Amino acid sequence: MLSLSELSMALSSLPPEDQRPPSLAPADISLQRQLECSANRLFFEACNGPLQALLMNCRWYISTVDGLSLIIHCADAPKNRRVLDQIIVLADCLAKLHPRGRIQVHPPIGMGAPFVMRVEERLEYRDRA
């Protein structure tokens, strides 16, 4: 496995046309927003009613900046616990959009670091439950 510095060096040695542009053009930003809006809608529709209700009580969104990520911000400890209790079901829904997506659950301020899980890890978590 490559270290971060080795990966950075490997990426910087790519030809310019294969590297990520230093900044996005307005058209690219618009397309990224459209993609994220569609991903939000598709993800929400993939969730069942109780899961949709839980999500509506949190601030959440899909980001495509560094791969597909579901980001959830929980306003209080009980909501954070309920989201974490449903993390496998959330991962199953996200897997319908991208099998290598990622979920970040941010607890209320002062309650620790975000919980991060890759979609492909859901089987490991399911086995632990």
Residue 8 has phi, psi (to 5 degrees) of: -60, -45
Could you read off the pLDDT of 105-116 as tens digits, one per residue?
Answer: 999 999 999 999
Tell me which DSSP letter residue 17 carries: G
Q: How far is CA 106 from the centre of its chain?
A: 11
What mean pLDDT comes out for the span 93-105?
94
- Secondary structure (DSSP) of 39-94: HHHHHHHHS-HHHHHHHHTSEEEEE-BTB-EEEEE-SSHHHHHHHHHTHHHHHHHH
Residue 49 has phi, psi (to 5 degrees) of: -55, -50
Q: How far is CA 30 from the centre of its chain?
A: 20
Could you read off the pLDDT of 45-69 as tens digits, one per residue?
Answer: 999 999 999 999 999 999 988 889 9
Which one, of 87, 85, 77, 70, lies nearest residue 107 by Cα?
77
